[in-house]
Amino acid sequence: MRLAVGGTIALTAALVCAACASRDPAGEKTLRVGVLGPFTGPVARTGDEFKDSVRMAFDAVGSRIGDTRVQLVWIDSQSDPQKAVAAYEEAVIRHRIDAGLLNWHSSEAVAVMEVTAKHKVPHFFGMGATGVVNEKYHSDVSRYGYWMAKGWPIPSKLTPAYVQALEDAIQRGLWKPAARTAAIWGEDTDWGRSLGSGLRDQLRSASWSIVGEEYFPLTETDFYPLLRKFKESGATLLAGTGTSPSSVAALIKQAREIGLPSLIIANGLGWVGEWHNLVGDASDGVLDQIPGWTSPRAQEFAAEFERRWKMKPSPAAAGLAYDYANFFIKIARRALERGSLDRATLYRVGREEVMTGRLTFTDGIVMKEYKYTSESEPDPVVGEGAFMFPVLQYAGGQGKVIWPALWKVADLRPPS
């Protein structure tokens, strides 16, 4: 028993010391913002884009909100839900974060929701899109509502665009598949299965037959057995997603190597700036859903990002992270207007203003407006003028929009 008590005393003392060490010696007010991302592990390239774009947003305001200094605390999820939970607990207890920002993987979002609920930490713009997050959120909003304002809607709100683009091409005679047969593939995560099931159900509703559905580990790079199975099934369409750039690149290149004639949807291929260096010309003809650097401000950001960090940014990672960091700055300023820049006031601004659509963000570089309503929560509003990804087809390392009709600059090209 003495050992247990001694351990408790030692832990308490350690936490007190940690709190003292993190306090500004000059007594300056400090807002500690925990940024959750895969900073090491198989998706660290995306974590780099998160970190550098968030830095750019806060650098632009001198890392200050009014008279309060902003301290960024990097929370490394390592693309692992259990490690994400442990890292977030440490950020809350040791670094005393006042709010959280971002995340990438759906599975870690589901897990970390328990931590934000336990410690009542408002966490904004997590990009874990799975419907499991929504189900958990709505099961008890008073508890799980601290994980608010998702940065990415459930996949089924975005994937219909793929089916619409395919059907349009078939009806116009641009693509004449030998059969309406599709195989679904994806990483074995909440994200991969959520997007895969959305595509499966929507394709079936459009009279496609699903001849295979397979999920694999996040780090998988040997796809020859899976692809041969798909080839034997007669699938004319392969549709799926992965968040590990090396994994998705391997799947596409190996599909070309074995002569698989299917049209390929690889949702998320372009989520890292150097995707074409990984895939090369094997990506020609692949369909993806990703925003672009369409405005002068967006292009300026992309150029400055590359100049400063020596890597190409992706609109889906760096671009969205930059916009959400700036939206958070707007939320923090609103909290200050309401009298206090602290955890409780940030939560109230989030619940009472952001999630009701009273406070939106229209100064972004990727979407025209980021908005939430009681009908959409915790997802952003999806549609033209709000959160929307066009469908594009790659050729020579460039993507051309083929859907929706108002945005298209090219027609779908069938597989050769």
Query: Worst-scoring range by mean pLDDT, 3-12, 254-263, 302-311?
Result: 3-12
Inter-residue contact 36 to 102 (CB < 8 Å): yes
Same domain, 172 and 280: yes
Question: Is residue 268 in some structural domain?
Answer: yes
pLDDT at 245: 93
Residues 255 and 319 in one domain: no
Within a domain: residue 65? yes
% of the chain surpassing 70 pLDDT: 94
Q: Is residue 101 part of a domain?
A: yes
244: CATH: 3.40.50.2300
Buried-state track 244-259, b at ≥16 Cβ within 10 A, e below 16: bbbbbbbbbbbbbeee
Structural domain contains residue 314: yes
Containing structural domain, residue 197: 156-291+389-403
26: pLDDT confidence band, cut at 50, 70 and 90? low
* Confidence category of residue 28, pLDDT binned at 50, 70, 90: confident
Q: Place 27 in a pLDDT band, splitting at 50, 70 and 90.
A: confident
pLDDT band at 129 (very low <50, low <70, confident <90, very high): very high
CA distance 147 to 155: 18
341-395 residue pLDDT tens: 999 999 999 999 999 999 999 999 999 999 999 999 999 999 989 999 999 999 9
Residue 148 pairs in a beta bridge with 124
**285 plus 312 within the same structural domain:** no
In a domain, 416, yes or no: no
Residue range 67-109, pLDDT digits in tens: 999 999 999 999 999 999 999 999 999 999 999 999 999 999 9
Question: What is the identity of the amino acid at 52?
Answer: D
Collapsed DSSP state (helix, strand, coil) of residue 112: helix
- Check whether residue 149 and residue 240 sit in a common domain: no
Residues 29 and 107 grouped into a single domain: yes
- Give yes or no for residue 41 having a pLDDT over 90: yes
Mean pLDDT of 171-182: 97
pLDDT category at 24 given cuts 50, 70, 90 is low
How many helical (H) and strand (E) elements, i.e. helices and strands, does the chain have?
14, 13
Query: If you average pLDDT over residues 231-250, what whole number do you get?
Result: 96
pLDDT score of 292: 86
In this structure, the answer to whether residues 25 and 98 fall within a common structural domain is yes
Cα end-to-end span (Å), the chain: 73
Within a domain: 382: no
Instruction: Tell me: do 255 and 303 sit in the same domain.
Output: no
Instruction: Band the pLDDT of 49: cuts 50, 70, 90.
Output: very high
Number of domains in the chain: 2
Q: In 190-275, where do the E strands start and end?
A: 209-216, 237-241, 263-267
Is pTM beyond 0.85? Reply is: yes
